[in-house]
Structure 1
Amino acid sequence: MAELAALEDPKIRDVNRKHGDEHAVNLGLLRAVAKRLKTQQELARELWRTDDAAARLLAMLICRPKAFERDELDAMLREARTPKVHDWLVSYVVKKSPHAEQLRLAWSADPDPVVASAGWALTTERVARKPEGLDLDELLDVIEAQMKDAPDRLQWAMNHCLAQIGIDHPSYRVRAIGIGERLGVLKDYPTPPNCTSPFAPIWITEMVRRQQPV
């Protein structure tokens, strides 16, 4: 913790706070610390318990994802309220857990929109990597009915799922683009030059274009 405190940069904290985050350590430096520590599951648990954002990010870099119990991951997610900690927990830990599918189903139906957004992130992962058994029509029905008025974090996760369906499943592409156009979610999102807009019709079209042989 002393080492992490010494790495803090107030300017990084100020930038991160604009995005709802709290950590003040350059992520490259944080990864260097993780590389030196290697995998240490008990230390990861201790770091998580500090409730410090940088310590929790480090914990996820040195943990063994498959060593966490289902209820432990559920509790961790409900404690992870800042975007970076939440995203890393889902991407670096839960996706690699044998409990991922159980948690996907439970979280997707959770009344807490931040928890539900994690369920949708796991659903997006399945759409891309293991779509067998998913009802894509039903997913699109839910997105069409709920995404427009969903809170920001949940809306973003549902929009990602919409785009992933359109990108990876040609038979659903026209419908996915149509839903995006009708709802207009993130249509006016400020997108830097050379970056792809998160507006689903543009996102889908651009990613499909990149997949075409030259």
Structure 2
Amino acid sequence: METASPKALMHQVLSKLRTLALASLALYPSLFTLSAHAETMATGKMGQCQGAIEYNAKAQALGFRLAHGDTFYCGASQEETLALLNSALKALPEGAQLDYLSIGRLIDYDWIGAALVAQAAQDKNWNAAQARPESQAGGAPNTYAYVSAYLSGEPLVSVWNDALRSRSVEIDAASIEKLLISGPDVAQNPAWVPSQKGYPFDAILHYRLRPLHAPITTE
């Protein structure tokens, strides 16, 4: 039997996860109906992909959509991401409500995925052998909670909020799904995916938003 290459296997995994991302958002309903009832607010280049941001008025959600074609990952830069987001925010109808911002897979955003890897690699609290933090405030060590906290904390949250505040909203909390951990059987594509075992590098990311200066939720 012919054995698929590591790159081909990784491509299959990511393709399957992209499909699952469209049907697995019980707590974040924005993606359930995003395609069916969405209006495109902006389009633009996102690394190796063509990107778009759609607005679903019913779900009160903005969502990035990246057309991969035959491209393994997009590699979008921070500048490209924010340019597209700012264009979409400006194009929103007057009075449009925003409760959610759906980003998609971290591996498509070099500036987010690489920063997450770097954070875990330099964090003395991260146990690569166990692929989890050594300790977690408020409960047992939890890899998903660790990654979510990083993605909704500084400095990343300020990058998003600088754009979102034009619509009088800001990040409330991050939610992730389908977290992937590095290992020797995972292709280093893009190059910032570590060859060492035990580091988070990819997940499906969604943000819940809140009005500016509203109390932080604890659920």
TM-score (norm 2): 0.27
TM-score (norm 1): 0.27
Higher strand share: 2
User: Looking at both structures, which has the greater relative contact order when contacts are Cα pairs under 8 Å and sequence separation is at least 6?
Assistant: 2
Higher helix share: 1
